[in-house]
């Protein structure tokens, strides 16, 4: 449908309607902030529109969209980091502050701890954990999106789970003291 000039805009509207919510939450789980997520989502759909002619259909549409969204999200983080001239860890702590004080977050204490733990993971582990845990994306599809091997993804997920468990355990022990 998007290859035909007559139905191209309608096809794009269908893509946006079908994937907007999924991509929003994919980006939001990484960035946390609603406004930043909206900006990245908009950039994702702009890149999608511009790239439709180049979509070869050898990949599934949703893996192609997730790759664009993931790349836009990581570009946003790198750009923000460069603009602020701070270490990535400092950006993570500002995310922690947003979680703790944010009006848009309505989770109980364990959910907040989980989100904080996720934000402290290295970039690749955070992506893999988010995609597997929250979105239940298959490793094979994730491999296409992130352009890495299934084995590397499984290892990243395993390490992420261990780090999250350790963080939650250590904060629980601090609360007991």
Q: Give residue 14's pLDDT.
A: 94
Q: Which of 50, 85, 120 is the last residue of a domain?
A: 85
Average pLDDT over the chain reads 83
The neighbour count for residue 115, using CB atoms within 10 Å, is 20
CATH of the domain at 174: 1.10.10.10
pLDDT higher than threshold 60 for residue 53: yes
* Global confidence as pTM: 0.73
Q: Structural domain of residue 148, as residue ranges?
A: 106-177
pLDDT value, residue 5: 75
Please indicate, yes or no, whether residues 61 and 120 belong to a single structural domain of this protein: no
- Say whether both 116 and 80 belong to one domain: no
47 and 111 housed in the same domain:
no
H or E element that contains 161: helix 150-176
84-93 average pLDDT score: 48
In a domain, 67, yes or no: yes
The residue to which tokens 């990949």 are assigned: 59
Q: What is the mean pLDDT of residues 97-110?
A: 56
Is the predicted pLDDT of residue 89 greater than 80, yes or no? no
- Which of the two residues, 25 and 60, has the higher pLDDT score? 25
Residue 150 lies in a domain: yes
63 and 1 in a single domain? The answer is yes
98 inside domain: no
Q: Which two tokens stand for residue 157?
A: 């997920």
pLDDT score, position 159 = 97
In a domain, 160, yes or no: yes
Confidence category of residue 84, pLDDT binned at 50, 70, 90: low
Whether 80 and 134 map to the same domain: the answer is no
Q: Is the CB of residue 81 less than 8 Å from the CB of residue 93?
A: no
Distances (CA, A) of 127 to 14, 49, 106, 124, 156: 26, 24, 22, 5, 9
Structural domains counted in the chain: 2
- Give the mean pLDDT of 53-82: 86
User: Is there a single domain that holds both residue 124 and residue 60?
Assistant: no
39 lies in a domain?
yes
DSSP secondary structure, 36-93, as one string: HHHHHHHHHHHHHHHHGGG--SSS-HHHHHHHHHHHHHHHHHHHHHHHHT--HHHHHH
Q: What is the CATH number of the domain that holds 18?
A: 1.10.1740.10
């Amino acid at each position: 449908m998007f290859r035909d000039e007559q139905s191209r805009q309608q096809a794009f509207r269908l893509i946006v309607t079908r994937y907007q919510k999924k991509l929003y939450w994919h980006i939001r789980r990484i960035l946390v902030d609603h406004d930043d997520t909206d900006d990245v989502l908009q950039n994702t759909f702009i890149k999608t529109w511009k790239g439709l002619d180049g979509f070869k259909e050898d990949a599934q549409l949703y893996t192609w969209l997730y790759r664009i969204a993931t790349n836009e999200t990581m570009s946003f983080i790198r750009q923000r980091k460069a603009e602020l001239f701070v270490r990535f860890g400092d950006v993570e702590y500002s995310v922690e502050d947003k979680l703790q004080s944010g009006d848009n977050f309505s989770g109980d204490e364990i959910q907040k701890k989980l989100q904080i733990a996720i934000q402290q993971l290295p970039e690749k582990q955070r992506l893999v954990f988010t995609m597997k845990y929250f979105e239940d994306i298959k490793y094979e599809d994730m491999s296409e999106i992130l352009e890495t091997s299934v084995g590397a993804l499984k290892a990243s997920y395993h390490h992420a789970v261990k780090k999250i468990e350790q963080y939650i355990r250590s904060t629980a022990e601090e609360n007991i003291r």
